[in-house]
Structure 1
Amino acid sequence: MSKPLEITNLYKRFGGLIAVNDVSFKLQPGEVVGLLGPNGSGKTTVLNMISGALPCDGGSVRIGSTDITKMKPHRVAKNGVARTFQLVRPLPTLSVAENVQLSLAFGKKRHWGREARTLAEEKLAFVGLEGRGDERVGNLTYIDQKRMEMARALASEPELLLLDEWLAGLNPSELRIGIDLVKNLQGQGMTVLLVEHIMEAVRALCSRCVVMSAGEKIAEGPSAEVLREPAVIKAYLGDDHA
């Protein structure tokens, strides 16, 4: 069973730039929530702080009753958090299955050898890459690299999955495949925080949205309502459209 995510008064500064300023929100177990905003609004910085890739300058991050605010990424992963990145980051000298097996070695439970290979193949089958574990990553199409990255994230057995523009760059048919895959995760009770610019995907997947602009939260609520708010329209399109 997934655990709730709660971030409170999250704050991050880079020199004179305040990238995230007093951001708070919660995710309940099994929710798929969109974290939206124009480029530079601080969304990826929030994901980086949740996953431990960046230290927080203020505020806290909790998974259930566990405070993960000051944990290193490998400790955050052991507490049930996995993520994807804006750009797929495969290890090109390894096979598809070996890329996934790395996560199995460093996730909540450590798996090695034949057991790890079997579990890697199961994750690959789940994302639509059944029987392709021996291929080189360079042979995969873009959507299949995205699938492999998802399998790698799922191999760490997360309770919370952070998807950072995972659907970006897909053509319409590939986008449908990606949406269906996230829906399958939702059907299994996975909690997902989704950073995304593709509104078709947001509307299809996210019951709620949190919207950021210039490092601050400007809206939160049901997706259909939030996307109509003047402050959100202004943040994306400017004053003339608000």
Structure 2
Amino acid sequence: MSAQLEISNLQKRFGGLVAVAGVSFSLAPGEVVGLLGPNGSGKTTVLNMISGALPCDGGTVRVGGADITRLKPHQVAKHGVARTFQLVRPLPTLNVAENVLLSLAFGKHRHWGKEARDRVEEKLEFVGLAGRGQEKVGNLTYIDQKRMEMARALASEPDLLLLDEWLAGLNPSELRIGIELVQHLQGQGMTVLLVEHIMEAVRALCSRCIVMSAGEKIAEGPSAEVLQEPAVIKAYLGDDHA
């Protein structure tokens, strides 16, 4: 089976700083894989290059076999890629349904009128916001803002979902809700690349992990094994714990 996502020798520099140094990995269709590493290791930069938010300085990004390396974000979305961000970015002048509706313009297929409204309500129901489309986004709790952002990403009908610390900042009960939502996506066969620091979520969701440190890939493999590797422990906790 061909890879849903394949990145090869990906590179990014910011002036003299090498943020990503020759990173390569792939995701099979339906996999949920963790992209881990300490702050500043280059994880979000990798997501930004996959989604087209940042140009690559070297390497290639392929999604479903298509080379998307040089495409802009709206073009990448047409290839079935959607993402969330570390900080929720709602459009405050629009209500919940309108925030989700807007993403339909950037997905793989165009939807209009009642079909579009029905699709929005379907996504809101899936994330637990059924019947709340007319609410102002400013009135949503933090977990409900996260739900709305997920609905917005899913409305574009992605084959590959990039979650950038989507579970960050949730309390324990909210975290469980968030994990269950991603597990529902797993059950539907969604391919997910998950940047996350919460190990409870990583262990619950990711059969496999890729770990970065200082812009380089330092480990890859089954989650339980990777999280025990001395190089990974050293990257997170320092030499005294390795």
TM-score of Structure 1 vs Structure 2, range by shorter chain: over 0.9
Residue 219 of structure 1: aligned partner = 219
Q: How many Å separate the matches in 2 of 1:105 and 1:4?
A: 23
Residue 164 of structure 1: aligned partner = 164
Q: How many Å separate the matches in 2 of 1:32 and 1:38?
A: 20
Check 1:151–1:24 CA distance in 2 against 1; reply closer, same or farther (3 A cut): same
User: Structure 2 unaligned runs (5+)?
Assistant: none
Name the % identity: 86
Residue 135 of structure 2: aligned partner = 135
1:121 and 1:131 in contact (8 A); partners too? yes
1:103 and 1:152 in contact (8 A); partners too? yes
Q: Which amino acid aligns with 1:71?
A: L
Q: How many Å separate the matches in 2 of 1:230 and 1:109?
A: 46
Displacement after TM superposition at 1:113 (Å): 2.5
Q: Which amino acid aligns with 1:223?
A: S
Q: How many Å separate the matches in 1 of 2:2 and 2:44?
A: 22
Q: Map 1:47-196; keep pairs closer than 5 Å.
A: 47-196=47-196
TM-score between both structures, scaled by the size of structure 2: 0.98
Report SS of the residue matched to 2:55. Answer: coil
Q: Which amino acid aligns with 1:231?
A: A
Post-superposition CA distance 1:135-178 (Å, at most 9, x none): 00011000000000000000000000000000000000000000
Report SS of the residue matched to 1:211. Answer: strand
1:2 and 1:189 in contact (8 A); partners too? no
Q: How many Å separate the matches in 1 of 2:59 and 2:224?
A: 29
Displacement after TM superposition at 1:118 (Å): 1.2
Displacement after TM superposition at 1:2 (Å): 9.8
1:101 and 1:116 in contact (8 A); partners too? yes
Q: Which amino acid aligns with 1:47?
A: L
RMSD: 1.1
Give the ranges of 4+ consecutive aligned residues of structure 1 lying more than 4 Å apart after TM superposition: none
1:3 and 1:159 in contact (8 A); partners too? no
Displacement after TM superposition at 1:57 (Å): 0.3
Q: Which amino acid aligns with 2:6?
A: E
Q: Map 1:3-18; keep pairs closer than 5 Å.
A: 4-18=4-18
Report SS of the residue matched to 2:200. Answer: helix
Q: How many Å separate the matches in 1 of 2:56 and 2:113?
A: 36
Residue 228 of structure 1: aligned partner = 228
Displacement after TM superposition at 1:3 (Å): 5.7
Q: How many Å separate the matches in 1 of 2:118 and 2:31?
A: 29
Q: How many Å separate the matches in 2 of 1:124 and 1:134?
A: 11
Residue 238 of structure 1: aligned partner = 238
Post-superposition CA distance 1:5-44 (Å, at most 9, x none): 0000000000000000000001000000000000000000
Residue 42 of structure 2: aligned partner = 42
